[in-house]
Chains A and B, each alone.
Chain A
Amino acid sequence: MRRRTLLGGAVAAPLLAACSGGGGGTDSGGRTTLSYGMWDPAQLPGMEKIIAAFRKRNPQISVRIQLTPWASYWTTLKTSMRGGTAPDVFWMNAVNFQLYAANGVLEPLSGHIKADATPVDRHPKALVKLYSYQGTQYGLPKDFDTIGLWYNKQLFDKAGITYPDASWTWDDVRDAAAELTDPSRRVHGFAAEMDRQIKIYPAICGADGHVLENGRSGFGDERSIDGMRFLTDMIDRGWSPPQSAMVESVGRVRYWSEKVAMNYDLSAMAGQMYAVPALKDHGGIAVLPKGKRRATIIHGLANVVSAKSDKKAAAWKFVHFMAGREAAEIQARAGVTISSYEGTQDAWLKSMPEFDLEHFLEMQEYAVPYPSSKNTAVWENLQYPLLGAAFSGKGGIESAARTLGEQMDRALKEERDS
């Protein structure tokens, strides 16, 4: 008998946990618990502080964070959306936004924004627009990211080269990369990694090309190919490790371990770079060098409310709070990302005084929004398999890019037809 109750308990415990995890309805006693889906563990402390501040103003509402690793965030979200267990409020990015908005699983916010006078105009216009679909606003930006040139001052000093600055062009980068490469110590001047957001898209835009315009792919465009050739050329000449090497230790890790002297990377990485003592001491930041024109990619996350949530009123209160100045300041002080609320970025700049973070803000002027369409994942998935060989030092970027352009156009056409 005793044994039986023990077993019964063992079976019941996970079931009970599963029920409470599902989070249905309002809790007893008029209190509401919201679930908040996010993926970046580095932003956890900042988000917790924001939640605490929100709680102070709204003691009736508590927020529980659901952290899902990036690798499975979207799969999990989509499945939980179907199963009805999706978080009430969650992080959204540009790649997935249109798919979610078009399928009606996001709560339209325009009415709430008007009613509560949410300070939307204090966020960058390009970002706000990224999260509106057919004239309706579905998400409010929380932060933004630009790509900058990170460089290792110590390696530059050793090679006797002056540090990169706003006057640098792609030629300067090539010259410096040649000088900085030292095969005997397995140090490379540059990391021309196959990464769409931090390498490929900035290079394409820097060469005055485009990724997506008026529903057509830009990969087959001569200017876009020039941009990608800037990257593959570095690999062919041995100034950058080939892609096969950068799969096993990515460019960022190579920069951290001082095996790469120059690397394009996100502003959001500043906190992690700052945590590496060597880089805190001699890590430098510059604006992206100029190709045919100046360009970088801007992207930011937004908070959205699930249309299937049964606590929409509380969820909106939370999203409204996070779009305001107080939350933005807390986020900026946490030092992980640039908060998108105008005028709160000082706290972020001051959080890492050794770094010239203001370059990331300067680049807003000529930043290109991250390209996306309704089913972005389909054509994005074509990129790495098709470009892989060219980025591994096997050449042929022209034909690879043209094939990619054709296949992407086909995917875009299917997307329009469906």
Chain B
Amino acid sequence: MSIFPATAAAKAAARSRTSASGARPGPRNQRSAYWFIAPLGLGFAVFYFWPLLQTLYFSFTEFGAFGGHTFIGTDNYIRVIKDVTVWQALGNTLIYCVIGLLALPVAIVVASLLNRRGLRGVSVYRALYFIPFVTLPVAVGLVWNWLYNGDFGLINEILSWFGVDRNYWVSDPSTAVYAIGTVMVWSTTGYYLVIFMAGVKGIPQDYYEAAELDGAGPLRRFLTITLPLLSPTIFFASVICMINSLQTFDLIYIMMAEKNPAIGDTQSIVGLFYKWAFIENAQGAAAALAFLLMLVIAALTYLQFRIQKRWVHYA
């Protein structure tokens, strides 16, 4: 997750350096540049590219329970395509993706509210919103399970004041996926908030002052200045957010007990991968599943890059 901002910042720094000194990048400069990116390249090769190739290879094999494997061709892919639980998990994962994206509008609104001139204690608010993101998903899941609890949970208690029946939020198949999605949004909003606050800060105050002189209200200023000028940031955040939600696992793993009747309706692709690989000894099929997920992520990301041309304004 941190790779993208880091490289973006590095690129920006590199750009400003060359333009400031006015030196054209000669072969000598280039060689030293490779030394600087070598650590990242090495890390990428060892931790991303090599496992990727391995996974691809393993997806065509069958594993023994304690090591050793045999080549079985495309059997794993056939199993993945035929298995109804895979399609159900894929559907659930796409629901998580849509719900996860809801964190963006929330973060944008909060970020622009925090950008008001004269607002005090901004860093306190920022910290408060950010804390859920740095809290371990295990802790988040456990605490929210208590809040959601159908017998003594706080949420049911509060709803009962308004005459709403108590509900087993995370164990009822009709609500479980949304209950978990809510927690996902809650715990990731802070991260996007920080990104958007940086984006909002980058918009010159002059625009707002000029708009104010012309009589534009706060909503008008938000819609015609903040949103368009923030669109590159929104695009970046939505790509990251989508990829993260598609890979969601830990929160569901903690919040959904094995005996939960809603388990089929909440299981994500990575959750299913875990079950196949580590519980049922089907590592080969799990590798095929992981590859399928990679293709889905690649396709959706490509789609986002195609669509961005229509709505992202680079000032």
Contact at A194–B281, with CB atoms within 8 Å?
no
A186 to B259, CA, bound (A): 22
How far, in Å, is A246 (CB) from chain B's closest CB?
Answer: 8
Contact at A388–B150, with CB atoms within 8 Å?
no
Binds B, one of A20-28, A155-163, A343-351, A376-384: A376-384
A74 to B149, CA, bound (A): 29
Report A-chain residues with C-beta under 8 Å of the C-beta of B157. Answer: none
Contact at A245–B281, with CB atoms within 8 Å?
no
Q: Which of A82, A244, A246 has the most CB of B within 10 A?
A: A244
Contact at A78–B278, with CB atoms within 8 Å?
yes
Q: A385 and B66 in contact (CB under 8 A), knowing A75-B278, A244-B168, A247-B259?
A: no
For residue A154, CB closer than 8 A to chain B, the reply is no
A-B contact pairs, 7 of them (CB 8 A): A78-B65, A78-B66, A78-B278, A99-B281, A245-B150, A248-B170, A384-B259
Contact at B151–A247, with CB atoms within 8 Å?
no
Report A-chain residues with C-beta under 8 Å of the C-beta of B258. Answer: 384
For residue B7, CB closer than 8 A to chain A, the reply is no
How far, in Å, is B84 (CB) from chain A's closest CB?
Answer: 11
For residue A132, CB closer than 8 A to chain B, the reply is no
Report A-chain residues with C-beta under 8 Å of the C-beta of B280. Answer: 375, 377-378, 381
Given contacts A82-B66, A384-B260, 16 further A-B contacts (CB under 8 A): A74-B279, A78-B66, A243-B171, A244-B171, A244-B172, A245-B151, A245-B168, A245-B171, A247-B168, A247-B261, A377-B279, A378-B282, A385-B264, A388-B259, A388-B264, A392-B171
For residue B59, CB closer than 8 A to chain A, the reply is no
Majority-rule SS of A interface residues: helix
For residue B38, CB closer than 8 A to chain A, the reply is no
The interface bits of chain B over 167-182 (1 if a CB of A lies within 8 angstroms of the residue's CB, else 0) are: 0101111000000000
Majority-rule SS of B interface residues: loop
Chain B residue with Cβ nearest A74? B279
Contact at A385–B171, with CB atoms within 8 Å?
no
Contact at A391–B65, with CB atoms within 8 Å?
no
Which residue of the partner chain, among B66, B170, B260, B278, contacts A388 with CB atoms under 8 Å? B260
Q: Which of B152, B171, B173, B257 has the most CB of A within 10 A?
A: B171
Contact at A103–B65, with CB atoms within 8 Å?
yes
How far, in Å, is B261 (CB) from chain A's closest CB?
Answer: 3
A78 to B275, CA, bound (A): 14
For residue B67, CB closer than 8 A to chain A, the reply is yes
Categorize the interface residue count of chain B. Answer: 20 to 34
For residue A281, CB closer than 8 A to chain B, the reply is no
How far, in Å, is B200 (CB) from chain A's closest CB?
Answer: 38
How far, in Å, is B168 (CB) from chain A's closest CB?
Answer: 4
Contact at B67–A82, with CB atoms within 8 Å?
yes
How far, in Å, is A27 (CB) from chain B's closest CB?
Answer: 27
Instruction: Tell me the B residues contacting A by CB distance below 8 Å.
Output: 62, 64-67, 85, 145, 148-153, 168, 170-173, 257-264, 275, 278-282
Chain A residue with Cβ nearest B277? A75
Chain B residue with Cβ nearest A385? B264
The interface bits of chain A over 344-378 (1 if a CB of B lies within 8 angstroms of the residue's CB, else 0) are: 00000000000000000000000000000001011
A181 to B37, CA, bound (A): 69
How far, in Å, is B137 (CB) from chain A's closest CB?
Answer: 15
Report A-chain residues with C-beta under 8 Å of the C-beta of B168. Answer: 244-245, 247-248
- Interfacial residues of chain A within 387-408, with CB under 8 A of chain B in the complex: 388-389, 391-392
Which residue of the partner chain, among B152, B261, B264, B279, contacts A243 with CB atoms under 8 Å? B261
A105 to B62, CA, bound (A): 18
For residue A249, CB closer than 8 A to chain B, the reply is yes
For residue A113, CB closer than 8 A to chain B, the reply is no
A292 to B280, CA, bound (A): 34
How far, in Å, is A106 (CB) from chain B's closest CB?
Answer: 10
Report B-chain residues with C-beta under 8 Å of the C-beta of A195. Answer: 259
Q: Which of B85, B153, B278 has the most CB of A within 10 A?
A: B278
For residue A81, CB closer than 8 A to chain B, the reply is yes
- Interfacial residues of chain A within 231-276, with CB under 8 A of chain B in the complex: 243-249
- Interfacial residues of chain A within 40-82, with CB under 8 A of chain B in the complex: 74-75, 78-79, 81-82
Report A-chain residues with C-beta under 8 Å of the C-beta of B152. Answer: 249
Contact at B257–A247, with CB atoms within 8 Å?
yes
A27 to B64, CA, bound (A): 33
Q: A381 and B279 in contact (CB under 8 A), knowing A244-B150, A245-B171?
A: yes
Contact at B275–A381, with CB atoms within 8 Å?
yes
Contact at B66–A392, with CB atoms within 8 Å?
no
Report B-chain residues with C-beta under 8 Å of the C-beta of A391. Answer: 261
Report B-chain residues with C-beta under 8 Å of the C-beta of A248. Answer: 145, 148-151, 153, 168, 170-171
Q: A243 and B259 in contact (CB under 8 A), knowing A249-B149, A375-B281, A381-B280?
A: yes
